[in-house]
Amino acid sequence: MIERYETAAMRDIWSEENKYRTWLDVELAVCHAWAEEGLIPIEAYESIRKKAFFDIDRIKEVESKVHHDVIAFVSCVAASVGEWGRFIHLGLTSSDVLDTASALLLRQSLGIILEELAILYEEVLKKAFLYKYTPCIGRTHGVHAEPMSFGLKLLNWHSQLKRSEERLILAKNQISCGKISGAVGTYAHCPPSIEEKACAFLGLKPAPISNQILQRDRHAFLILSLALLGSTLENIAQEIRHLQRTEVLEVMEPFASGQRGSSAMPHKRNPILCERICGMARLLRGYALSAMENVALWHERDISHSSVERIIWPDVFHILHYMIALLINIVGHMEVNAEKMIKNIELTKGLIFSQRVLLALVEKGMDRDEAYEVVQKYALECWNEKGTFKDMLTSDPIVSSLLSAEELQGFFDVSYYLRFVDDIFDRFK
């Protein structure tokens, strides 16, 4: 990940130092299991536990000769221990270490994402309650539809974020598996009891079955779930972008003191934070495709997935962590213009109340198609700026014969569209 979008927490997890430390944790867990089984001396395990360490520069030096990072790592760690070093990596293949350690790194990263996500959806929920009764225009196809509550828009965001949390918890469960089953998953040189004990020591579940690797559908599901969360963040950011357009101007993302919007036009206040989120969501979807491509490997495994994972796993978590933090700031400090929301509701001169008029005419006995034609006729004339929708309806002899002026007036009441807001919010208490 480029430095611009790195986060300190993810940098620590995906650093070389932490990677090798996690590999060592796996090797020590296996040695501990062998010792518990009585297959290596207890004093050997204790010596390994106390003495084992690694030097990154030395690992790189060895790797430059052997062209295998795990072999280089094991060689260096074994040398640090001395005579008992021969028991390190006993019965294991490289993937036993890599995949089990990766489960730990992915789980650590996902834990941070879930913590930040909880902050975000609580902030969104807080704002939803704040604007619970704030009327705004609802839009379908980008066109004014009917009035709604701005709080409901926010509550919908909250609901999407909670569903993402549910998917990520499931994904966390699916990737929290270790694999200590040997070259092709037969346990030929390391019995299942070692895997069970080592995984328990690491806080993982043993995979019920594996070949040389943990199957990549687990990891694909995780990356897909993270990418889907990214798309939800994009959905929120894109909505704010639309609402910040000059012609709309109902919501604006925060604009820092001293910030400049354009190098050429001093008046510009651009939604660059939301645009950044939208752009980064595209990266996540691309990485999701790469994760799915990693599922189909040759026979018991090949390493075509390895180079992909070295890039996409840290990048996905860096990107998503950055996006969530950015959106927490946006939602927490966005400017909401309730007055402009009212003005935009009034923009179409009453057209947005057409459905109430249609339904009232039907209730009075008019054929639905006939009622639709009458209402649509005046709606189209209103679009052509020939008057207000209500005045046109009032002047129509058919409409006025069925609906009194008082009845018509009542149909143009915004509060009618907010009468079930409390019912919807009650579902989220």
Mean pLDDT by runs of 10 across the 429 residues of the chain is: 91 97 98 95 95 96 96 96 95 96 98 98 98 97 96 98 98 97 95 97 97 96 98 98 96 86 82 96 97 95 94 97 98 97 95 94 93 91 84 90 91 96 94
CATH number at residue 302: 1.20.200.10
pTM here?
Answer: 0.93
Residues whose CB falls within 8 Å of the CB of residue 342, separated by 6 or more in sequence, listed in order:
135
Q: Do residues 306 and 400 share a domain?
A: no
Query: Is residue 243 assigned to a domain?
Result: yes
Alpha helices in 191-303 (DSSP H): 192-202, 217-243, 272-293
Q: Do residues 150 and 281 share a domain?
A: yes
Query: Is residue 423 assigned to a domain?
Result: no
Positions of E strands within 253-350: 335-336
Tell me the residue range of the domain where 303 lies.
Answer: 103-177+213-348
Q: Do residues 265 and 374 share a domain?
A: no
CA pair distance 33, 27, nearest whole angstrom: 10
Q: Do residues 281 and 334 share a domain?
A: yes
Q: Do residues 378 and 271 share a domain?
A: no
C-beta atoms surrounding 234 within 10 Å: 22
Q: Do residues 281 and 220 share a domain?
A: yes
Residues whose CB falls within 8 Å of the CB of residue 216, separated by 6 or more in sequence, listed in order:
291, 294, 295, 297, 305
Residue 48 near residue 85, CB atoms below 8 Å: yes
CA pair distance 153, 138, nearest whole angstrom: 9
CA pair distance 174, 187, nearest whole angstrom: 22
Query: Is residue 241 assigned to a domain?
Result: yes
Q: Do residues 343 and 233 share a domain?
A: yes
Q: Do residues 126 and 227 share a domain?
A: yes
Strands 143-149, 135-140: parallel, antiparallel or unpaired by DSSP? antiparallel
Domain's final residue, options 332, 348, 364:
348
CA distances from 9 to 13, 107, 116, 171, 318 (A): 7, 13, 11, 20, 9
Q: Do residues 392 and 291 share a domain?
A: no
> What region, left, alpha or beta, does residue 299 occupy, with left being phi > 0 and alpha being psi -120 to 50 degrees?
left
Q: Using alpha carbons only, give the angle 8, 10, 15 rounded to the nearest 5 degrees.
A: 95
Beta bridge partners of 136: 148
Domain's final residue, options 331, 348, 365:
348
Q: Do residues 115 and 153 share a domain?
A: yes
Query: Is residue 50 assigned to a domain?
Result: no
Query: Which of the residues are catalytic?
Result: 141, 262
Q: What is the pLDDT of residue 255?
A: 85
Residue 332 near residue 124, CB atoms below 8 Å: no
Query: Is residue 70 assigned to a domain?
Result: no
Q: Do residues 301 and 241 share a domain?
A: yes
Domain's final residue, options 333, 348, 363:
348
Q: How far is CA 73 from the centre of its chain?
A: 34
Residue with tokens 């400090």: 333
Q: What is the pLDDT of residue 365?
A: 92
Q: Do residues 383 and 285 share a domain?
A: no
CA pair distance 327, 277, nearest whole angstrom: 8
Query: Is residue 118 assigned to a domain?
Result: yes
CA distances from 340 to 11, 134, 143 (A): 43, 11, 16
Query: Is residue 199 assigned to a domain?
Result: no
Q: Name the domain count of the chain.
A: 2
CA distances from 52 to 58, 144, 259, 386 (A): 14, 67, 51, 85
Q: Using alpha carbons only, give the angle 301, 306, 312 rounded to the nearest 5 degrees.
A: 135
CATH number at residue 362: 1.10.40.30
Strands 251-252, 335-336: parallel, antiparallel or unpaired by DSSP? antiparallel
CA pair distance 421, 424, nearest whole angstrom: 5
Q: Using alpha carbons only, give the angle 146, 150, 153 rounded to the nearest 5 degrees.
A: 90
CA pair distance 305, 290, nearest whole angstrom: 9
